[in-house]
Amino acid sequence: MKCFNLLLAFVVTFVGLVKSEFIYSCTENKTIALTFDDGPHKYTKEFVDYIVDEHPDVKVTFFHVGRFHYPFAIDVQEYQDAMKKAHDNGLQIASHTYEHKISNDTNEFKEALDTMDDFIEKVTGDRPRYFRAPKGHCDEECQAALDEWDYRLIQWDSDTNDWDLKTSGSIEQRVQDSIEFLKGKFAEEKDSYLILMHDSQNYTVRDIAPWIIEKSGMKEKGYRFVTVAECLGDKSGMYRSGKTYGDVAPKMVPGNETASSITGNSVERSAPSTSSAFATSKSLTLLPYVCLGLISTLLLSMF
């Protein structure tokens, strides 16, 4: 009986540790996910126009806040128009909290997340499933809550430190420092890259990001610039609606059950019925716990 109680306590404790895992890197080969935190701000429209109008094959991800840099995004129509244009053209809109902070109170945290998701839905028509914590700080309680609420918790594997003017001493040097850092990273020719930047910085929008897209040589090496969801093989999972946007209209194939409707140059597609790669990954994450349960059952049958 003592062995049984110890084993049961171990199983309960182990299963209780299930939480939303940080995602640091992409899983799809030859992909680069450019991510931008802390917007929308006064440079976001300029950057969205640059991507959509000049580089329509490039997709990026924005982790937005509602109230952070003044004037606040919730009060500025231009910022919201940029969000909408980005969304409709296949760029990903994700949550970075409502006020760039996470409350230690779970109920307050959930309320703030809902408020931000409400804002994003009001502007774009979709609720996000992807989330990045401010400064990447999310403790185990935070992770467990996000898992319960079905969010994908995104970090990064390449930090440009584009916000850090103090260390560099000037804008010009900051740009150079970020580019030199990226040159070193890109020289490694890793399978993929998940890069952190901020569209609240004008030199990021006008210098660092354009250098990556136009001058880094990564396109020539066969890399694709995609959203975070796409770099994880979870394109239809970026929003809770399961819809994707900005795709090239698919050819009609007999027996193809994927519905699509075209509005202007944007294609809205419903999610396929098959499970996403992320769902599969999450199932694999839970596999050890399932196995542990089976082993426990076998051991208990021996008593």
Domains of the chain, each with CATH number or no CATH: 31-232 (3.20.20.370)
On whether the CB atoms of residues 74 and 118 are closer than 8 A, the answer is: no
Q: What's the CA angle centered on 143, arms 7 and 106, to 5 degrees?
A: 105
Structure tokens at 127: 């609720």
In 3D space, the residue among 98, 128, 94 whose CA is nearest the CA of residue 113 turns out to be: 98
Report how far residue 31's alpha carbon sits from residue 17's, in angstroms, rounded to the nearest whole number.
31
On whether the CB atoms of residues 196 and 157 are closer than 8 A, the answer is: no
Structure tokens at 115: 């408020």
For the stretch 110-134, pLDDT in tens is 999 999 999 999 999 999 999 999 9
Per-residue pLDDT at 264: 37
Per-residue pLDDT at 40: 96
On whether the CB atoms of residues 271 and 247 are closer than 8 A, the answer is: no
Pairing of the two strands 266-269 and 260-263: antiparallel
Helix (H) or strand (E) holding 202: helix 202-203
For the stretch 156-206, pLDDT in tens is 999 999 999 999 999 999 999 999 999 999 999 999 999 999 999 999 999
Per-residue pLDDT at 247: 75
Per-position DSSP letters for 208-264, written without gaps between them = IHHIIIIIS-TTTTT-EE--HHHHTT-GGGSBTT--B-SPPPPPP-TT----EEEET
Whether 96 shows a pLDDT value over 60: the answer reads yes
Report how far residue 177's alpha carbon sits from residue 8's, in angstroms, rounded to the nearest whole number.
54
In 3D space, the residue among 20, 15, 2, 24 whose CA is nearest the CA of residue 231 turns out to be: 24
Per-residue pLDDT at 246: 84
pTM of the model as a whole: 0.79
